[in-house]
A and B are shown apart, each in its own frame.
Chain A
Amino acid sequence: MKSSTPIRSEAEIIAAVIAGDTQLYHELIRPHERSVYMMALSYMKSEADAEDVAQEAFIKAFRNLPTFRGEAKFSTWLISITLNEARNRLRRQSVVRMQSLDEPPDEDGAVSPALLRDWREIPSEAVEREEVRTLIKKAVETLPEIYRQVFLLRDVEELDVNETAQTLSISISNVKVRLHRARMMLQKELAPQLKTINRAPKRRWLPWS
């Protein structure tokens, strides 16, 4: 394929970095900074630890770049490195509270949603309010680990079912079950709280606003 644009594809940048133009690595990772940090945060809980893990993952990815074969997407490859780094660090910190990622979800663990009679749509501008952001973050952070990871990959990082299964080394049906439970848990936790927040007094009626 002939390219007339000066904008290089990710694959071309990777090839250039491997060939010795290492400064391009800065450019290569820029679009992935947020997702790597998010995945690190899903394991580490503390922002400082998550940042360390993210930095370490980017360094490891640089060192191992020549082994990247392009079979997976670069973003998926980066996330696998990040998850490995996070797991290793937790092991070193001997935080044993970690559940096994291969653990099958309990079959009897159906999650009942919060029952509401009606739902008034909460506009996305609501997340500009600190209290709303804090509520949502807290709800996600307190999800059990196996659900939090699937939720972050599918609904925040927007990986598809296959990529999520591959990244976490779990089956596709496990991805679906865990995602469903994560979403129901969030609905159960957040819907009643957000509903009240939504009723916060509006000032729009003020003539000068």
Chain B
Amino acid sequence: MVIECKHVWNHISEYLDGALPEETRDTVQRHLEHCEICSAILDSTRNIIILTADDRVFELPAGFCERLHARIDLELMAT
């Protein structure tokens, strides 16, 4: 079965999660083998997900842990 790019885009997220039914996955895979645009979309999406999940992107504010544990100490003393 041959599918259009637009339909492949709908499956990108589940394709990355390995959550597509076998048949759909194979169809998408065959499309990706010869479509450089869809391949680039897939690669960039995967790359962006990995970068976003990097611990260095979202960091705790400076002093966050000290203030949190000081607050908890107050609570513990009150109980």
Contacts and interface: CB of A to CB of B under 8 A. Distances in A.
B33 to A, nearest CB: 15
Given A55-B67, A119-B47, 17 more contacts: A33-B60, A33-B68, A34-B58, A41-B58, A55-B71, A62-B72, A63-B75, A113-B45, A117-B37, A119-B39, A136-B48, A155-B52, A176-B14, A184-B9, A184-B13, A186-B48, A195-B44
A140 B49 CA distance: 11
B76 A25 contact: yes
Nearest to A151: B52
A183 B16 CA distance: 11
A87 to B, nearest CB: 21
Contact of B51 (A51, A62, A113, A126): A126
Interface of B: 9-10, 12-14, 16, 19, 36-37, 39-41, 43-45, 47-58, 60-61, 64-65, 67-69, 71-72, 75-76, 79
A60 to B, nearest CB: 10
A124 B54 contact: yes
Interface of A: 22-23, 25-26, 29, 33-34, 37-38, 41, 47, 51, 54-55, 58-59, 62-63, 110, 112-119, 121-122, 124, 126-128, 132-133, 136-137, 140, 155-156, 158, 176, 179-180, 183-184, 186-187, 190-191, 194-195
Majority secondary structure, A binding face: helix
Contacts of B14: 176, 180
